[in-house]
Structure formats: structure tokens, C-alpha cells
Structure 1
Amino acid sequence: MTAVNATPDDAPALLRREGRAGHIVLDRPRAINALNHSMVRIMAGALDDWERDASVATVVLTGAGERGLCAGGDIRSIHDDVRAGRAAASAAFWYDEYHLNARIARYPKPYVAVMDGIVMGGGVGVSAHGSVRVVTERSRVGMPETGIGFVPDVGGTYLLTRTPGELGTHLALTGGAVGAGDALLCGLADHVVPSERLPEFTAALAGTDPADAVRRFATRAPEGELAGHREWIDHCYAADSVEEIVDRLHASGDRHAKEAAETLLAKSPMSLKVTLAALRRARELPSLEAVLEQEYRVSCAMLAAPDLPEGIRAQVVDKDRRPRWSPAELSQVTDADVARVFAAVDGPADDGGLRLL
């Protein structure tokens, strides 16, 4: 093992070298490695350095601790920024984070993401765009943003519109997390390695091509749950509005569909409608970069709406799990309200826009 002196011992992400592999370790285990701006900058710098370093053949991403790779972005910081009038700080974090997501997707060397345990939101952004994505029997992968008054970002609307049928729409709106089998079905991961063999797998990457390491350690994916629900999911989520989706779910007669309807009715009405519109638009966009540009504009617009700080308050700060959404009902969110969120997307790019294309 060769230490890299690019990060101090107390850095939130650690870098090290093992043979021909460069390792990035997200190192905030008490926060399930929630991403902050420093972590994004460390990762981006490592990718730049290792791309130019011929002695590095593979990049490996893991998370410290036993709970998961990454629980998402540091939403407590976003809440504090908004409350203190520092929304620009959160926008700057997203700017760099979304650039990192695009960088990972186009990285010229194998980027192995070990998606063990909890992988949510921003954790999906730094893993599911990689070229070799490994899940385990402990993995729970999801985009839970509608539950905090936000929308799927970090390229989530790109990934979730490339799933079979309407599975991605179901996951995006409900915020549901999936295990290993469904992560493979939805195209969020590629291989399953038993968690007990992860140390051997990552150690092998020091001198073994990732494709060979995967062949050595991967096992057959367990059966998921979503394939058996495709009929009602594809029918219900093909509707043109959130209200019609809820109506179809209630009318389907399937117990799981009814549960999904109740889940939706507990989410932010504004987030649900903006998310559905974002997904539909993402389907028509030509690339991940174009989708990330749209997501950046939408994310910044949501900073000015009341539901994001309120959702974080209810889930993370006060933990009363009783958000007071505004508007409170789906019927109160108009098409004009949603259109305003996307207005900047359709117009010329301004100085605050994300430029990836």
C-alpha cells in the first residue's frame, strides 16, 4: 500500500494507492459518508491527477464504516444555508458536484464503485455513473428527494428514465430504494459481489483488471421485486399527471399499488409535479450532460421554494416526520407553477448556469 499525501488524516475523503489502483474512500462514517463540498473537490482532484498518472490503471470508490457507501448530499448544510440566506453556497456545491458526476461518467479509466449498504441521492451520483458498479446483498439504492421537498438530481433523472418501462418513474416519485437484484434490473449497477468478499475483491484490483476481478468474485444476482409488478407500474405511471397516476394506483386493485399511492400523497406536491416533468423532459434530452444542466437549473429554482428547507427540517433537523408542504395539495400546484421552475432551462443560459456541453 502506498499512501498519497494529498489529504490530511482528518479529511472527509481519503486517497491511497494500492498497486495500480487509486482508492477514494468517503470518510464520514457517522453521517453515512454524506457528501459535502470538500469531498467533491477531493474526488475531482484525484480523478484529474490519476487520469494523467500512467501508473494508475483503475479508480476504486468505497465508503468508510459498515452502514453504506453514501447516504446522499449533506442536506443539513443545505437547510442551514437556505435559512441563513446563503443559498448561493448550496448552488456552488451542486455546480461542482454535477460536474463531478459528468466526469465520472466519461472517465477514461475503469471507475469501480463499491455500492455496499446505503447508496442514496448524491451517493448514486458518484457511483451509478461509473463504468464498473458493484452491489452486495446489503445494498439499498435510491433517490429519496421527493420526501424532502426536492427533486432527483446528480443525473438521477437521466438514470431513472433509462430503466425498463416506468420503473424509474415509480422509484423517482415514491423515493423508494431497491436491493441488488432490482438495481441490476434498473441499470443502476452491473455486478453483485457478496459483502464478505469485498476486501478480497478490492485488494485484487491492485494488479488485476476490473473485468477479471468481477469474473472471479461476482455471483448471480438475487431475484428482485420490481419485475413482478411491471404490469401495474407501467400502466399507472404512464399517466400524464401526478393526479392521474394516483387515481390509477388506487383503481388498480393491487395492494402494492395502493401503498404506492399513499406514499405519493405523503410527499411534497410541488416536488412530485416537478419531478414528473423533469423525467419526461429528460427522456427527450440527448445526453447525461444535457440532463445535468437541466437538473442544475431546477435544483437552484427549488432552493427558493419553501418545501426544501421544510422537508429537511422534518426529516433531519427536528425529525418529527410531519412536513408542512406548501402548497399542501396536488391540486394546488398549477402547470404554471411547474413551468416557472423550468423557465430558465428553456431560455438562453445565464451566467449562473451549468455548462457541460
Structure 2
Amino acid sequence: MSNITNYLQGKCKEMCPQEEIKMREKEKLLHMLEMVPGTEKSKFPKASKKHMVKAFCRSAAGKQIDKENNLRPPKVLLKTVSYLLCDVIATKKLPWHSVYDFITDRLMAVRQDMVVQNISKAESITILQPIVRFHAYAAYKLVLCHESVANFDPTLNNSHLQECLKRLLHFYDGCNNYLYTDINPTCNDYIVETRPEFEALYIIFNLGNDEPLRRVLSIPDKCKTELVKNALKLSLCYRCGNFTRLCRLIKNLPPLLRATASLHLPQVRRKTLQIMSTAYHSKNLAFPTKVLKDILLYGTTEELLQDCKYYGITGDKECIYLTKQSFDVTKTAAAPRHESLVNSKYMDENLQSIILG
């Protein structure tokens, strides 16, 4: 008997199967971004076929996900991802958290089609890269908007990011044996060029964790670029409590990785202020406010004083007065805020190129 598994091959040439378009239009399950303009408020909204994107559905719900006519081949999946992360992401019709929900659901359907067809490593890598970048961007964008959990659940988004990132790295690992051969030099160059960004993202997203640090030892030397080495230093600094150097390293990261790293700053600042409250404990000494602001990457003196007040530390525009009794150890890390070191305007204006690479 043959051990070869015959996987299905998608035959759907559009972003959404015709069968689903008819069903969702009939059942009034169209998303506002999929309706024919002008019919959104009518009793029976019309489906705009060029804007329809296959929705995610769980196999346990009694739906058939293994029909070839409903599966999109890799080229269509890539076209779908490009549409979602180029056209839809830029829409101003809805609040960004609603756009995020729509894109996330449709990307889950893309990932589902990938798994059912067991598409090649190279195709999987090409499709997953922008998906990972999207969830990394969303983690920064929506946390800073202080959206309620009803609108945006950062834990769920982080779960999507972690899952997609690990799957992407798994496919990279599957290509390790080819990086030292001339079997497919074009594919080799592409992987060597793109892989370091995601190896670094995995380290920074899981800052201080053991597994990403162990992983660095096993990746090919060609992929251990300066970016990966800096991410490694960043994680080791976090583990060792060298927060001054950690903050210096963050400033040297590219935009998306810097935004991801900045999400760790509230915890870094809390730990630093707690350590300093003991190390600089004195009734007669004070620490210069401007120096501390620069060390911990605060955008303004007011932001630093705000956090100091939150943790029970007194200070003014000139000096911070540190005593171990004043620091409130019961306080968790302060809420994330927009960081001046992350050029949000640049990211928003260049979002398509950042996410699509």
C-alpha cells in the first residue's frame, strides 16, 4: 500500500466561492465591506462579488471545508491576503477595530485553506509573512487605542500572532537543508533575505523566554544577521536586568520590531523604577529627571512623572526622589501608551509596504 497522502487541490478562482456568496446573501450574512455600495441599509443587501471574501467557519459546525470548488489555490490565497492587507486595511468606512475583526476572520479562512491543501513550504512562507506582520502591527495599534475587550482582545490577537509565527518558522526550518545547496538559488535568496525579520520578531515578542533563545542556536548561520543578533542581545538584557542597554537597543530596531518591543516598555520601566528605588534609596539624594526620561525612552517629562506618581514615587521636572518605602509593589505595570520612539505616522502612511514587504 502507498503511504502517499493525496491532498485536495483548490479549484475556486475567486476570493469567495459562488456557493458561499449565494448563501450569505440569502441569509443576510454579508459584512458591510462586502455589500454593493448603496444597498447597505436596504432590507436585502446585495453582495459585491469583487469584494466578497471567504469567511472562516469551523468544521465542527457541520460545514464542508473539503470541497475542491470551495478551496482557493495558493495564487488566489495570496491575492486574497494582498486585497485584505492593501485595500481593506486602508478603508475609512469603519472604525479600525471593526476592520481588524473582518480581516482577522478572513485571514483565518485563508490559513484553513492552506492546511486543507497542504500547500508547499515556499507558498506557505509567502502567504504567512504578511499575516504575521498584520497581527504584530495590530498588537501595537489597538492596545494603544485602549479599546475595550469587547472590541479588541489583545490576548486573542497575541494567540493568532504566536500561532502564525511558529507555523512560519516551522516552514523556514523545513527549508534549512536547501540553504547550503544550489537546487533553487532564487528561493534560497528569498528565504535568507526575509527570514531574519521573523526570527527577530519571535525573540522580541517572547522577550526573555527560553525557547526563542534556544532556537537561535539551531538556525543556519546565513540567517544570523545583525538584526537577529540585536534581538538576541535585547532578550538577554531583559533576562539579566540590564534595562539601560535594552532601551538603547530598542532604538536601533526597524519600525515594526520597534513597535513590538515597545509593548514591553511598561514592564521594563516598572522593574527599573523598583530596582532604583532600592539602589538609590536616600533622603538626601535625587536622580535627574531628564536623565531618567532619556534612559527609559519616555517621550516627555510629564509621562515619566505620571508613572512615578502611579508607583508612589515623588518627583518634579528637575529630580526624582527614590526611596524603597515609597515604591508601591502592589501596582502592576502601567498601561501602554503611544511611544515617541515609534513613529506611528510613518507606520500608518507606509502601512502597506511594511505589512506586505
* TM, length-normalised to structure 1: 0.33
Question: Which structure shows the higher strand fraction?
Answer: 1
Question: Which structure shows the higher helix fraction?
Answer: 2
